[in-house]
Amino acid sequence: MKRNTKSLLKFFLLSAVTVLITVLIFRIFKSANYIEQAHLVGIIHGAEPEESRHVDHIDNEKIDWHDYERIKRDALRKGPGEQGVPAYLDQKETKNYDELYKVNGFNAALSDKIALDRAVPDIRHSGCKTKKYLKRLPYVSVIVPFHNEHWTTLLRTVVSVINRSPDHLLKEIILVDDASTKPFSKAPLDNYLAANLTKARVIHLPERSGLIRARLAGARQATSDVLIFLDSHTEANVNWLPPLLEPIAQDYKTCVCPFIDVIQYETFQYRSQDEGARGAFDWEFFYKRLPLLPDDLKHPTEPFRYIIKIGSRNTFLYHFHGKG
């Protein structure tokens, strides 16, 4: 009996020591791991982990960033594709249709008929329309790589970003021409931007480099704290920028991603994709969208915590029609 108690005690003592040591080892490992991760994030975003940047020292004043003048003007716009309504070509306008469709994979002839500064419907969650964001937000450089993008869809990307961004937050738009062969992509584009859209400029890559290297080429020339990567046939919606920038202002290591709406390739109709989803990959690395978790559904105007995005439109430090 006595011996049994003794060995039982010994057993418990041994177990306790084992648990303690395991916890200790785990703690040490975890903190080492954490430091490594923090460094990695710092390197990706070109920031020293210890560096204190102005975006770290924010005051918490929030303001309404909506540009109500522009919203009012946009609401009055009429014409093909305005308000994101499906548009169509007339019989006599269809002569380029097939040729342009083949080259671009969408109805580029119709794009030429739609205004570069068309109005798109504000399809955000109604709670976003009254939401305020930090008054002090970092500046952004928008980087748009392209290869043989059709000229009006490319220019519409630039125009919509300029028109729907607060002027002082948008420092520059850098188009990266990944060795396009369309004549418009060279001097005519340079001249058009220099004459009409002076915030934008083009880097012409001498040889085909692919999406990622084109993005990096743009990033190297960017001069803002925050880089936003966009596709070359996108349109920014109302108040798209502040919701993307606020999480970065609060923690510069944040990588954000927008809601991606849909521009229909045949009619240029503008509509939502869904009410948001979690990005994920399946076992074959195909991108999947999973339903949101109950906690996210309770806060539809707050950022969701998933940053996995489909490759072509992903981003470091960015967001789009914004959550909010």
Judged by beta carbon, residue 192 or residue 265, the one nearer ligand NAG is: 192
Site of tokens 């002082």 = 168
Q: Checking DSSP bridges between strand 226-229 and strand 262-263, what pairing results, if any?
A: unpaired
Q: State the nearest-atom distance from the C-beta of 199 to ligand NAG, in Å.
A: 14
Residue 289, H or E segment: strand 287-290
Q: State the nearest-atom distance from the C-beta of 152 to ligand NAG, in Å.
A: 10
**What are the backbone angles phi and psi of residue 9, rounded to the nearest 5°?**
-60, -45
Q: For residue 71, which of 189, 275, 240 has the smallest C-alpha distance?
A: 240
Q: For residue 244, which of 5, 10, 27, 65 has the smallest C-alpha distance?
A: 65
Report yes or no: 91 and 83 within 8 Å, Cβ to Cβ: no
Say whether 181 sits in a helix, a strand or coil.
Answer: coil
Q: State the nearest-atom distance from the C-beta of 116 to ligand NAG, in Å.
A: 7
Report yes or no: 89 and 97 within 8 Å, Cβ to Cβ: yes
Judged by beta carbon, residue 67 or residue 190, the one nearer ligand NAG is: 190
Q: State the nearest-atom distance from the C-beta of 170 to ligand NAG, in Å.
A: 19
Per the DSSP assignment, residues forming a β-bridge with 262 are 271
Report yes or no: 51 and 43 within 8 Å, Cβ to Cβ: no
Contact track, ligand NAG, 184-203, x by CB under 6 A:
-------xx--xx-------
Judged by beta carbon, residue 18 or residue 191, the one nearer ligand NAG is: 191
Q: State the nearest-atom distance from the C-beta of 195 to ligand NAG, in Å.
A: 3
Judged by beta carbon, residue 196 or residue 198, the one nearer ligand NAG is: 196
Judged by beta carbon, residue 192 or residue 287, the one nearer ligand NAG is: 192
Report yes or no: 62 and 136 within 8 Å, Cβ to Cβ: no
Q: State the nearest-atom distance from the C-beta of 200 to ligand NAG, in Å.
A: 12
Q: For residue 261, which of 135, 168, 72, 125 has the smallest C-alpha distance?
A: 125
Cα–Cα distance measured from residue 47 to residue 226, given in angstroms and rounded to the nearest whole number: 11
Q: For residue 150, which of 265, 28, 72, 292 has the smallest C-alpha distance?
A: 265
Q: State the nearest-atom distance from the C-beta of 290 to ligand NAG, in Å.
A: 43
Contact track, ligand NAG, 236-275, x by CB under 6 A:
----------------------------------------
Q: State the nearest-atom distance from the C-beta of 197 to ligand NAG, in Å.
A: 8
Say whether 151 sits in a helix, a strand or coil.
Answer: helix
Contact track, ligand NAG, 146-185, x by CB under 6 A:
----------------------------------------
Judged by beta carbon, residue 158 or residue 249, the one nearer ligand NAG is: 158
How many residues interact with ligand NAG (rule CB under 6 A)?
A: 4
Judged by beta carbon, residue 96 or residue 196, the one nearer ligand NAG is: 196
Binding of ligand NAG at residue 31 (CB under 6 A)? no
Q: Where along the sequence are the contacts to ligand NAG (CB under 6 A)? A: 191-192, 195-196
